[in-house]
Amino acid sequence: MPDDRDPGRGCVDRLPIMVSGKDVTKLLVIPKLQSGTAAVISDACLAEIRSWGLEDRIVVMCFDTTASNTGCKGGVCIMLESELGKELLNLACRHHVSEIVLEKVFSLHESATSPRLELFSHFRDFWPQIDQAKYRTAMEDKDAAHRVTEIRDNVITFALQQLSTEYHRDDYKELLELTVIFQGGIPPRGIKFRYPGPFHRARWMARAIYAIKMNFPFNNVRAQRGHLDNPIISLFDDSVTVDKKQCMVNSTRNNQGSD
C-alpha cells in the first residue's frame, strides 16, 4: 500500500494485526514492514502481543496460506509457537484454503506458469455466441444428476439462505446464484448469466464461477465447441480417477487446437 508518511517513495508492506475473543474484536496495529519474510512478520506480531500483555491469552492463529506463514521449518506460525512456548490452534483462512483446492484441480488442465488460464480465455471469447436461454441444469444431464441428487436439496436451501442475507461482494452472489441454477432451482433475482469477468490464478472465486458456467450444457455450445463436451465438474469429483481427469484434459486441449 502507499507510504502515507512519504508518498513519493512508492508502496510499503504493512501487516494488520488483530485479536478477537468473546464479543470482542480489536485491530491492534498495522505496522510497516521492512520486508515480507517470515522473521520480520513474526517479530512484528510478537512485539504487539507482548506490548499488550497477551502472551498467555493467545490460543489460536488465523492466517492465509502463504509459504512465509505456513512453512514447516521457518514459517511465521512455527516461529510464534516457538517464541510463545506453546502449540496454537491453526485456523487457515477459508478463502486461501479454497484457493489451494482449486489450484490443485486446475493444475490438471493448465500446467503453464502464466497467470492466465487458457481454458477461461477461450470460454470468455466465445461467450457472445452462446444462447443463454438454451441452457440445461444438472438435473437434465444423466451423469451430472447422478452426482448431485443426494446433496441437491441441502445445497439449494443453503444457497438461498445465504442469498437472503446482505452480501457486499458481487462474486459471492454470482457463485450462489449459479449454484442454485445449476442444481435446477431459481434464485431470487431469476435466471441470469453474467458476462465472464476477469480471471487470474490468484482469484479462486473466479475459478469457481468459471467452472460452474462452463459446466452448463448450453445447447449451441455443445454443437460448436467440443472442449465443453466433458463437464468441468468431473475435475472436482472424487469418484473420477486422476488418469481419467487427465484424459479429459488432454481431449480438451486437442479440441481447442482443432478450432
Would you write out the chain's pLDDT as a tens digit for each of its 259 residues?
555 555 555 667 788 899 998 888 999 998 888 888 899 999 999 999 999 999 999 999 998 877 888 888 889 999 999 999 999 999 887 666 666 677 776 666 554 445 556 777 888 888 888 888 888 888 887 877 888 888 889 989 999 998 988 766 788 889 899 999 988 899 998 998 988 887 765 567 787 888 888 877 565 444 334 333 444 555 555 555 666 656 655 554 444 444 4
C-alpha cell at 234: 468431473
Q: 138 and 217 in one domain?
A: yes
Which are the contacts of 89, defined by CB distance < 8 A and separation ≥ 6?
Answer: 59, 60, 61
Q: Are 183 and 156 in contact (CB under 8 A)?
A: yes
Q: 158 and 231 in one domain?
A: yes
Residue 250 CA to residue 238 CA, distance in Å, equals: 19
Q: Are 47 and 33 in contact (CB under 8 A)?
A: no
In a domain, 107, yes or no: no
Q: Which of 45, 63, 92 is the C-terminal boundary of a domain?
A: 92
Q: Are 57 and 22 in contact (CB under 8 A)?
A: no
Q: 55 and 23 in one domain?
A: yes
Q: 241 and 151 in one domain?
A: yes
Residue 228's closest CA among 113, 141, 159, 107? 141
In a domain, 36, yes or no: yes
In a domain, 105, yes or no: no
Q: 15 and 77 in one domain?
A: yes
Q: 29 and 137 in one domain?
A: no
Domain count for the chain: 2
In a domain, 155, yes or no: yes
Centroid of chain to Cα 206: 7
Domain that holds residue 26: 7-92
In a domain, 169, yes or no: yes
Q: 54 and 163 in one domain?
A: no
Q: 146 and 69 in one domain?
A: no
Q: Are 156 and 181 in contact (CB under 8 A)?
A: no
Read off the pTM.
Answer: 0.56
Q: Using the Cα atoms of residue 77, residue 82, residue 83 and residue 86 in order, give the sign of their dihedral.
A: positive
In a domain, 223, yes or no: yes
pLDDT of residue 224: 39
Q: 11 and 45 in one domain?
A: yes
In a domain, 154, yes or no: yes
Q: 129 and 18 in one domain?
A: no
SS3 content of the chain, % helix, strand, coil (to 5): 55, 10, 35
Q: 120 and 70 in one domain?
A: no
Q: 154 and 243 in one domain?
A: yes
